[in-house]
Amino acid sequence: MVRNRTIWATAALLTATLGVAAAPAEASPVTATRAATACPTGWGSLDKTYLAGTSTPVTNVRTGRHDCYDRFVIDVPGAGAGQLGFSVGYVDQLEQDASGRPIPVGGGAILDVRVNAPAYDPETGASTYPGRVAQPLPGVNLTGYSTFRDTRYAGSFEGVTQFGLGVRARLPFRVLRLAGALVVDVAHTW
């Protein structure tokens, strides 16, 4: 009887061992995370500019978190991608267009983000974006972001709307022009 139990136990152990050996090896969570977050960007941190403009107004600003970068989106519904001119670059201090008023922005570095679109209706002058100058952007919550630290509205003057984006450090970024939106992605690392 003891011999039968020993044979059955040995057979069960052998089957389990062979089953494990035959099963494909899965990546550990650490290995899978490293593979998923290998983020070569090649974007750089120098100023980026595109000369164009639209009278279609800015209506909203939103942000998003991604594996390799944080995303800042300025919605300009109805504007074509080719119409969205911009100027984006790192500055020592955010200064409001025309007045030169300094606007404090938190973070280790500041991106001055300008889109060549008004934040008001050009015919009536009525505001189309609810931001208040020198205040954080309405509806934007940066809790849990890897790179973004602060946002500020700097106003809209002569068809150009300006934002301050506080980031953790001077990191590489890219600017994308899409139909109806200008996108600024800032990488988590170099």
**What would the mean pLDDT of 71-83 be, rounded to a whole number?**
97
**What would the mean pLDDT of 160-178 be, rounded to a whole number?**
98
Task: For residue range 133-150, list pLDDT tens digits in order.
Answer: 999 999 999 999 999 999
CATH of 48-187, one of 2.60.40.3500, 1.10.1780.10, 3.40.50.410, 2.60.40.10: 2.60.40.3500
CA pair distance 132, 16, nearest whole angstrom: 66
CA pair distance 44, 186, nearest whole angstrom: 10
Read off the pLDDT band of 105 (50, 70, 90).
very high
Q: What is the DSSP letter of 67?
A: S
Q: In what helix (H) or strand (E) does residue 88 lie, and over which residues does it extend? A: strand 86-91
Q: Comparing C-alpha atoms, which of 159, 155, 164 is closest to residue 184?
A: 164
**What would the mean pLDDT of 33-58 be, rounded to a whole number?**
84
Report the share of the chain in percent with pLDDT over 90.
Answer: 76
Structure tokens at 136: 């954080």
pLDDT > 60? residue 3: no
Q: Residue 35: which region, alpha, beta or left (left: phi > 0; alpha: psi -120 to 50)?
A: alpha
Task: For residue range 24-41, list pLDDT tens digits in order.
Answer: 444 444 444 444 567 867
Question: What SS3 state is found at 35?
Answer: helix
Q: In which residue are the tokens 């290998």 written?
A: 38
